[in-house]
Structure 1
Amino acid sequence: MSVTAARGFTASGVSAGIKDSGAPDLALVVNRGPSYAAAAVFTSNRVQAAPVRWSRRVIGDGALAAVVLNSGGANACTGPAGEDDARAMAERTARALRVEAEQVAVCSTGLIGVPLPMDRVTAGIDAAAAELSEDGGEAAAIAIKTTDSVHKTAVASGSGPDSGPRSGSGPGPGPGWTVGGMAKGAGMLAPGLATMLVVLTTDADVSAPTLDSALRQAVRTTFDRVDSDGCMSTNDTVLLLASGASGVRPDPAEFAEAVHGVCLDLALRLVADAEGASKEIEVRVVGAASEQDAVTVGRSIARNNLLKCALHGEDPNWGRVLSAIGTTSAVFDPDRLDVSINGVRVCRDGAAGEPRDKVDLSGRAVTVTVDLRSGDASATIWTNDLTAAYVHENSAYSS
């Protein structure tokens, strides 16, 4: 049920003709209230798409009534005309829904530097508005795909102020409150955020400051720790909208846990669907002097192309892990480093440990665990292997 798992929301996805393939490419998510509280996190790339600039402005008052999203074109690096197009998308959506343009966030994804076919976009907005329904979440999730092979949704729910959240891709809402979400992303996956568009919804009665706190906490340890290929996008956007339709005001910590659960679910789906990937790699760094050290080491390992190639070839080359650690400023003693790959400690005290032929890399899941033996902090980074399919996908992307 995606973004319509939470009560008070409708959604739709249509084919507007933005993509030459005729695939769905325009989506609407609409908050029917009674609350319109919202929060957002955007890319930290200094080159930002026109939709990001527009949405940054309108989220300033902590309220949104709708989100319009398109795939097939990023509307990034398109100059003043692109700014006008982002505004026009908001205005056309506002007119169709009878709300103010400043209540509409805009998200776009696709090729950079190419203007949107605005006649098709605006007609698509009208068509999407006519198809809005409480069952439209899946259609919306499909419409925002670019190189994604699958659409990505997740749901978590709680029964009341004292209940713990239950996360996953289903079932739908119960008598309490729900958080639903959809995401797109399969390439340019790196912080801040990852290359993605994410819309989260909830029917909990939650204020904008509480939404903002929960969202930023969740993003910091989920989307911000997905590092597929080290490339940061111009369009990354994560939105969280609250309708308050359940009438339930959950405990803030439990609500934050539910938001985190949905974000983590979606983040891992991004990694699983990364362009050309044949391995999903979890890099766990423990024993760090600080969380920042753990993140820095984990990210260095996740971005090591030699290691990513080795793991694709099912070679547990732990020397490449140590080489990646050594490029960082983290606190560690090179002669006290331990590395395990899929549970086999192949490196002990900075030297060879158990025989590498004990490591089974035949499956899709790979876990690389590094113990810096310098403290109690830890962090996890998620990445994938580097394959010929990834190179092919990105060598032909704009042709």
Structure 2
Amino acid sequence: MSVTAARGFTASGVSAGIKDSGAPDLALVVNRGPSYAAAAVFTSNRVQAAPVRWSRRVIGDGALAAVVLNSGGANACTGPAGEDDARAMAERTARALRVEAEQVAVCSTGLIGVPLPVDRVTAGIDAAAAELSEDGGEAAAIAIKTTDSVHKTAVASGSGPASGPRSGSGPGPGWTVGGMAKGAGMLAPGLATMLVVLTTDADVSAPTLDSALRQAVRTTFDRVDSDGCMSTNDTVLLLASGASGVRPDPAEFAEAVHGVCLDLALRLVADAEGASKEIEVRVVGAASEQDAVTVGRSIARNNLLKCALHGEDPNWGRVLSAIGTTSAVFDPDRLDVSINGVRVCRDGAAGEPRDKVDLSGRAVTVTVDLRSGDASATIWTNDLTAAYVHENSAYSS
């Protein structure tokens, strides 16, 4: 049920005619209360789409009643007209739901630099408002897809201790966190080319939501580094209805939010454009967490390594080369590298024979021990394939 797994929320997804294909391309997520607390994290790209600018402003008071989202057009780099279009989407949604426009966040995704067909978008908002239901979460998740091959949802619940991600169609007797995401390309830190809406029926204040969301994003979405490209539209929203009447322990709530974010982040990597390998880069033994993140990102962005792993070649020399470009604390003669559990590099030199490494499956784990401290971090990426090049060579055609 995605974003409608939590009580107090309705959603819908419709085809507004934004996409030439006629596929669903507009979604609404509505908070029915009694609470309207909300928090958000946005792209750190200095070039920001009009919907991001609008949503940054309206989230300032920590409250939202609804989110309107469209695929088929990013409304980014569209000038003053794009700002007007984002406002028009919020105002039309507000009119349909009888709320204030300043209570509506706007999210858009698609090709940069192309104006939205506003008449179709606003008509689609009316259609989506008419179809809102407690079962509309999946339709909403489908409507925000662009190059995604699958829609992405996750749910967690808690009654006392947070139980983490679970399967199932509805909320438990306690409280629930639900979420949906889109994203398959331009996946790099500072979020990714993604839109994420999280909902909860827990009774949680806006500051608590903000703290939980920022903690979760820092070690999930911000650690996805598929292709080193950062988007203009990235948005992660967390809305609380308070409909369960349960006020969870903040740490337990934060754990559940983290679980849903991690689930969705890994689904983004699994659906990355053209990918045939899902690569987990674990850096341990670092002098600081920042060192671990820096080394992990350098490895994740090394195109030679990504090509090697696509060809099922455990070329650990490319891992060491990537580490060597960073300012992290390490001794080159004490570096260890394991690939899928085989320590192919020990003390900065050859370890176990590389032909022991099985890369026939989709999952690849690269573990680096810097042997310089106790800090660690994980970065998620994927391989570089001809399919990725093909898809992105014709994206705007």
Residues in 1 aligned to 2:42 and 2:15: alpha-carbon distance in whole angstroms = 26
Residues in 2 aligned to 1:7 and 1:390: alpha-carbon distance in whole angstroms = 39
Following superposition, the deviation at residue 55 of structure 1 comes to: 0.0
Residues in 2 aligned to 1:108 and 1:398: alpha-carbon distance in whole angstroms = 16
CA deviation profile, 1:239-273 (whole Å, cap 9, x unmatched)? 00000000000000000000000000000000000
Structure 2: segments with no counterpart, 5+ residues: none
Residues in 2 aligned to 1:166 and 1:109: alpha-carbon distance in whole angstroms = 28
CA gap 1:163/1:273 in 2 versus in 1, 3 angstroms: closer
Residues in 1 aligned to 2:63 and 2:189: alpha-carbon distance in whole angstroms = 26
Following superposition, the deviation at residue 195 of structure 1 comes to: 1.3
* Secondary structure at 1:164 match in 2: strand
CA deviation profile, 1:135-173 (whole Å, cap 9, x unmatched)? 00000000000000000000000013787775889xx21
* Secondary structure at 1:30 match in 2: strand
CA gap 1:27/1:227 in 2 versus in 1, 3 angstroms: same
Residues in 2 aligned to 1:323 and 1:251: alpha-carbon distance in whole angstroms = 45
* Secondary structure at 1:278 match in 2: coil
Q: Which runs of structure 2 are paired with 1:173-188 in the superposition (5 Å)?
A: 173-188=171-186
* Secondary structure at 2:163 match in 1: coil
Residues in 2 aligned to 1:38 and 1:393: alpha-carbon distance in whole angstroms = 36
CA deviation profile, 1:74-100 (whole Å, cap 9, x unmatched)? 000000000000000000000000000
**8 Å Cα contact 1:167/1:262 also seen in 2:** no
- 1:128 maps to 128
Residues in 2 aligned to 1:145 and 1:210: alpha-carbon distance in whole angstroms = 30
Query: Taking every aligned residue pair, what percent have the same amino acid on both sides?
Result: 99
**8 Å Cα contact 1:168/1:262 also seen in 2:** no
Are 2:252 and 1:285 equivalent residues in the alignment?
A: no
**8 Å Cα contact 2:6/2:199 also seen in 1:** yes
Residues in 1 aligned to 2:364 and 2:212: alpha-carbon distance in whole angstroms = 30
* Secondary structure at 2:229 match in 1: coil
Following superposition, the deviation at residue 328 of structure 1 comes to: 0.1
TM-score, normalising length: structure 2? 0.99
TM-score, normalising length: structure 1? 0.98
CA gap 1:314/1:110 in 2 versus in 1, 3 angstroms: same
- 1:65 maps to 65
Residues in 2 aligned to 1:253 and 1:173: alpha-carbon distance in whole angstroms = 20
CA gap 1:191/1:163 in 2 versus in 1, 3 angstroms: closer
**8 Å Cα contact 1:90/1:101 also seen in 2:** yes
CA gap 1:288/1:173 in 2 versus in 1, 3 angstroms: same
CA gap 1:165/1:342 in 2 versus in 1, 3 angstroms: closer
Residues in 1 aligned to 2:268 and 2:368: alpha-carbon distance in whole angstroms = 23
Q: Which moved more, 1:159-168 or 1:271-280?
A: 159-168
**8 Å Cα contact 1:205/1:244 also seen in 2:** yes
**8 Å Cα contact 1:30/1:65 also seen in 2:** yes
**8 Å Cα contact 1:156/1:168 also seen in 2:** no
* Secondary structure at 2:265 match in 1: helix
* Secondary structure at 2:389 match in 1: helix
* Secondary structure at 2:11 match in 1: strand
**8 Å Cα contact 1:179/1:201 also seen in 2:** yes
Following superposition, the deviation at residue 132 of structure 1 comes to: 0.1
Residues in 2 aligned to 1:85 and 1:350: alpha-carbon distance in whole angstroms = 56
CA deviation profile, 1:316-336 (whole Å, cap 9, x unmatched)? 000000000000000000000
Residues in 1 aligned to 2:33 and 2:164: alpha-carbon distance in whole angstroms = 24
- 1:339 maps to 337
CA deviation profile, 1:355-390 (whole Å, cap 9, x unmatched)? 000000000000000000000000000000000000
In angstroms, what is the RMSD of aligned CA positions?
1.2
Residues in 2 aligned to 1:156 and 1:285: alpha-carbon distance in whole angstroms = 28
CA gap 1:191/1:104 in 2 versus in 1, 3 angstroms: same
- 2:167 maps to 167
Residues in 1 aligned to 2:2 and 2:164: alpha-carbon distance in whole angstroms = 20
Residues in 2 aligned to 1:266 and 1:125: alpha-carbon distance in whole angstroms = 26
Residues in 2 aligned to 1:75 and 1:199: alpha-carbon distance in whole angstroms = 19
**8 Å Cα contact 2:154/2:165 also seen in 1:** no
CA gap 1:165/1:114 in 2 versus in 1, 3 angstroms: closer
**8 Å Cα contact 1:166/1:258 also seen in 2:** no
CA gap 1:121/1:216 in 2 versus in 1, 3 angstroms: same
CA deviation profile, 1:102-129 (whole Å, cap 9, x unmatched)? 0000000000000000010000000000
- 1:238 maps to 236
CA deviation profile, 1:35-92 (whole Å, cap 9, x unmatched)? 0000000000000000000000000000000000000000000000000000000000
Equivalenced residues, count? 397
Following superposition, the deviation at residue 194 of structure 1 comes to: 1.3
* Secondary structure at 1:28 match in 2: strand
Structure 1: segments with no counterpart, 5+ residues: none
CA gap 1:224/1:100 in 2 versus in 1, 3 angstroms: same
Q: Which runs of structure 2 are paired with 1:347-366 in the superposition (5 Å)?
A: 347-366=345-364
**8 Å Cα contact 1:165/1:257 also seen in 2:** no
